[in-house]
Amino acid sequence: MRVTKFLLALVPLLVQGQLSGRVGPLTSHASKSSKKTCSVLDHGAKADKATDIGPALVSAFVACKAGGTVHIPVGDYAMKTWVSLTGGSAWALQLDGTIHRTGAAGGNMIFIGNTNDFEFFSSTGKGAVQGNGYQIHAQGSRTGARILRLNRVTNFSVHDVVLVDAPAFHFTMDTCTDGEVYNMAIRGADWGGLDGIDVWSHNIWIHDVMVTNKDECVTVKSPSKNLLIENIYCNWSGGCALGSLGANTAISLVHYRNVYTQNSNQMLMIKSNGGSGSVSDVIFENFIGHTNAYSLDVDQYWSSMSAVAGTGIKITNATFRNWKGSEANGSQRGPVRVLCADGAPCTNINIEDFAMWTESGSKQLYTCRSAYGSGMCLKGGGSGSYAATTSTVSSGPAGYSVATMKGDVKSSFGTTVSIPVPPIPTEFFPGVAPYSRLAGS
């Protein structure tokens, strides 16, 4: 997007943070469209909410994959068969209509692979994929498709599209490079396994995204390097995380900032059980939380994961700065839990400017284990393991009270009824304007 490129060129240090270079498509969608536009309507699609758009989308892709824009105009389309759009270059996918899932297969409804210079966007900010996951979830099952997966895509962006009610995950980006994801609303059911965005990639900027679900909000997996993730609104979710992490973990230079989380499992979790490798040089700053179960939660003995081989993942040089707000019940689940592996103690962990307080009761706990650094219950310097130590705090720290977003969802969407397609919000963190204007605004 032009504004973004302009900003990157003008103030690279300010905007880029942890990135290693430019992100986004190499050519604009306007120039792709003027080269060639392939409307799915000319390839057999019908906006009748009944005809399978799958074959038409594949056919339009084949016609435009060497440079051009595949256009899905305004209207309601059914998708019965999934599409694998691989090997394209200098192409864009413009989704201005709504795709409704009708097929039952697993896999990925839309798979983009081995592609360079790619853009998936809506020109109106209203393009959406309605996964109709409730039809499957109501049967007690979480089988079925992811909505969107990008694999080995370089120089790309995904923006201004809405993904709703995935049967399984919503959006996975793996083994990609130099990408930008922004202005998105993702809304799923109130259940685990319905992740918002999962990323393991290199040099990716994810910003201005809202997620509602009950699993990952925007989560980093291994291997990943040079990720900047900011202005994230976990509007009733599982919360953001690094993990789950296993053998040969390699995550470094990840920067989360301006993350607002309410009614979620956690504000940020680093989760593993055994494993090897490292997480290093990571920053988590400007976090606001309300009514979450966990807040800052490093758990290298995570009980929801079976232990994997290895003595633990080494976490080093991790900074948690400017965390404010309140947790649901601080004596049950304290706002600071840094439980590191005894076989690989955490070092250089810094908790700074951290003020959170409990919403019920009158005390909260800070717990640390085999963790070194500064702040809260962390031990200074040192090496070697130590058993969990817990300190109890019985008055709210100064400055914990912070803004709530006025749009906070007050109850979940459950798992059994159709989930409406939301508008993309105009704000993702209190008082912080999105980087790019919403398409169509």
Ligand X SMILES: *[C@@H]1O[C@H](CO)[C@@H](O)[C@H](O)[C@H]1NC(C)=O
Q: Enumerate the active-site residues.
A: 215, 290
Take residue 122 and report the two structure tokens written for it: 């809506």
Q: Which of 16, 33, 154, 249 binds ligand X (CB under 6 A)?
A: 154
Q: How far is the CB of 64 from ligand X (least distance, A)?
A: 18
- Does 113 bind ligand X (CB under 6 A)? Our answer is no
Site for ligand X in 158-197 (CB under 6 A): 178, 187
Q: With left for phi above 0 and alpha for psi between -120 and 50, is residue 83 left, alpha or beta?
A: beta
Q: Which of 20, 37, 84, 317 binds ligand X (CB under 6 A)?
A: 317
Residues contacting ligand X: total by CB under 6 A: 25
Contact 182, 157 (CB under 8 A): yes
Here's the x/- map for ligand X, 11-50, by CB under 6 A: it reads as -----------x---x------------------------
Matching residue, tokens 């680093």: 270
Q: Which helix (H) or strand (E) holds 16?
A: helix 12-16
Parallel, antiparallel, or unpaired for β 98-101 and 76-79? parallel
Q: Which of 332, 350, 374, 385 binds ligand X (CB under 6 A)?
A: 332
Helices (H), 156-252: none
User: How many Cβ atoms are within 10 Å of 2's Cβ, its own excluded?
Assistant: 10
Site for ligand X in 223-262 (CB under 6 A): 235, 253
Q: How far is the CB of 342 from ligand X (least distance, A)?
A: 24
Distance between CA atoms of residues 73 and 393, nearest Å? 57
Residue nearest to ligand X (CB): 407
Task: Give exposure, 396-431, as e/b (b: 16+ Cβ within 10 Å).
Answer: beeebebeebeeebeebbebeeebebbebbebbbee
Q: How far is the CB of 13 from ligand X (least distance, A)?
A: 12
Q: How far is the CB of 56 from ligand X (least distance, A)?
A: 28
Rounding to the nearest 10 degrees, give the CA dihedral for residues 77, 82, 84, 89. 10
Q: How far is the CB of 82 from ligand X (least distance, A)?
A: 25
Q: How far is the CB of 280 from ligand X (least distance, A)?
A: 7
Question: By C-beta, is 40 or 186 nearer to ligand X?
Answer: 186
Q: How far is the CB of 169 from ligand X (least distance, A)?
A: 19
- Does 212 bind ligand X (CB under 6 A)? Our answer is yes
Question: By C-beta, is 306 or 411 nearer to ligand X?
Answer: 411
Question: By C-beta, is 307 or 417 nearer to ligand X?
Answer: 417
Q: Among 122, 211, 201, 206, which residue's Cα sits nearest to residue 425?
A: 211
Site for ligand X in 115-134 (CB under 6 A): 116
Question: By C-beta, is 64 or 328 nearer to ligand X?
Answer: 328
Residue 131 phi/psi, 5° resolution?
-80, -10
- Does 151 bind ligand X (CB under 6 A)? Our answer is no
Using the contact rule CB under 6 A, the part of the chain among 217-225, 300-308, 327-335, 349-357 near ligand X is: 327-335
Task: Give exposure, 231-252, as e/b (b: 16+ Cβ within 10 Å).
Answer: bbbbbbbbbbbbbbbbeebebb
Contact 216, 244 (CB under 8 A): no
Question: By C-beta, is 261 or 273 nearer to ligand X?
Answer: 261
Q: Which of 76, 281, 285, 342 binds ligand X (CB under 6 A)?
A: 281
Q: How far is the CB of 428 from ligand X (least distance, A)?
A: 8
Distance between CA atoms of residues 229 and 251, nearest Å? 14
Name residues whose C-beta falls within 8 Å of residue 436's C-beta, 6 or more positions apart in sequence. Answer: 1, 3, 4, 159, 182, 183, 208
DSSP code of residue 349: E
Q: Which of 86, 422, 430, 432 binds ligand X (CB under 6 A)?
A: 422
Here's the x/- map for ligand X, 78-107, by CB under 6 A: it reads as ------------------------------
Q: Among 98, 104, 63, which residue's Cα sits nearest to residue 80?
A: 104
| Residues forming the site for ligand X (CB under 6 A) | 22, 26, 116, 154-155, 178, 187, 210, 212, 235, 253, 281-283, 317, 329, 331-332, 360-361, 405, 407, 409, 422, 425
